[in-house]
Amino acid sequence: MRKLLVTGGMGFIGSNFILHMLSRYDDLHITNIDALTYAGNPDNLSDIAHSDAYRFVRADITDAEQVGRIFAENPFDGVVHFAAESHVDRSIVHPEAFVRANVLGTFHLLEAARRYETPKFIHVSTDEVYGTLGDTGYFTEQSPLMPNSPYSASKAGSDLLARSYAQTYGLPVIITRCSNNYGPRQFPEKLIPTIILRALHDEPIPIYGDGTHVRDWLYVMDHCAAIDAALRRGIAGEVYNIGGHHERTNLEVTRMVLQELRKPESLITFVADRLGHDKRYAIDPAKTERELGWRPGKELEQGMKETIMWYVTNRSWWERVRSGAYLEGR
């Protein structure tokens, strides 16, 4: 049986990845370590909490001892590292937490993987490390790292550390960089769940600046399939961009959700812009498609419909998030 360590598996992308992997492979055991910060929600994995193929350990990657203990107890065949502080707005107010979790936390994991000779390490990163684009062009794996927010700078720092462990120690690290994810279980601070939940409650939807900022939307399960492909077919030391081929302005995606929910556009409320707001992200995933044999399968309109339906039918999930009930007992 293959043994995988997943970090940050109680979060949005990590939990979807664990569900993807366990539904796909019978010969797999996953250890999920998560610090259970505000963004880590055990409800995300309640369906598999008692599965023999799964184990949860509460652990904080910023604590070298805790990380060392996990590796000492278990030889892992691979690590998939999702754990991160991920919300740009929070990083503008509290940058230190981002440096700690994203840079120091990644460093502790890389050190442990080096010490215990883990044969595969996927470092899950973001297209935000490339900075921002004008109206044209795409980020490729060769684009320079020019992060603009404390969040993206901390991720760029962790990418460079990961790269250095491949170059210096020969640690078999693969870096993946994704565009904006959407789908079930996304924490309501992000744009898409903000729109859905506020629209469902007939509340104003805050759009930063003039709403013309562009993001490339990637269905979370397509992202999970790409990481799975990177685990199986990725080459150590390489970077793979993962995007959805779905560039839209923030206003366009907001209107799409409002139309689907039959809510009025008058809910759209323009608010002060985010500091240092990146204008456009657009990612070229050609290398990943060619070398990993992966393609994003979900059309944006269909993925958005399914995502909206998930929030509509999983009311108790977001009610517990909104009320803070999911944090009880921590």
Residue number, 73 or 135, with CB nearest to ligand T46: 135
Per-residue interface string for the shown chain with ligand T46, residues 39-78, x marking contact by CB under 6 A = ----------------------------------------
Restricting to residues 233-292, which ones interact with ligand T46 according to CB under 6 A?
250, 274
Whether residue 241 contacts residue 127, with contact meaning beta carbons closer than 8 Å, is answered with yes
118 binds ligand T46 (CB under 6 A): no
Rounded least distance, CB 194 to ligand T46, Å = 5
Active site residues: 127-128, 151
Which residues are within 8 A (CB) of 108 and not within 5 positions of it... i.e. 6 or more apart? Answer: 61, 62, 63, 64, 67, 68
Rounded least distance, CB 321 to ligand T46, Å = 15
Residue number, 128 or 228, with CB nearest to ligand T46: 128
- What are φ and ψ of residue 281, in 5° steps? -115, 130
215 binds ligand T46 (CB under 6 A): yes
What tokens appear for 149 in the block?
């927010």
99 binds ligand T46 (CB under 6 A): no
Cα gap 284→167, rounded to integer Å: 25
> Which residue number has the CB closest to ligand T46?
126
90 binds ligand T46 (CB under 6 A): no
Give CA separation, 322 vs 38, 103, 239, 310, in Å. Answer: 11, 29, 36, 16
Q: Using CB under 6 A, which of 21, 61, 88, 292 touches ligand T46?
A: 88
What tokens appear for 167 in the block?
């170059």
190 binds ligand T46 (CB under 6 A): yes
Q: Which phi-psi region, left, alpha or beta, contains residue 170 (left: φ > 0; alpha: ψ -120 to 50)?
A: left
Q: Which phi-psi region, left, alpha or beta, contains residue 136 (left: φ > 0; alpha: ψ -120 to 50)?
A: beta
Residue number, 18 or 205, with CB nearest to ligand T46: 205
Q: How many residues bind ligand T46, per CB under 6 A?
A: 18
- What are φ and ψ of residue 57, in 5° steps? -125, 125
213 binds ligand T46 (CB under 6 A): yes
Q: What is the DSSP letter of 280?
A: B
Q: Using CB under 6 A, which of 44, 62, 106, 179 touches ligand T46?
A: 179
Please report, as ranges, the residues that interact with ligand T46 according to CB under 6 A.
86-88, 126-128, 179-180, 190-191, 194, 206-208, 213, 215, 250, 274
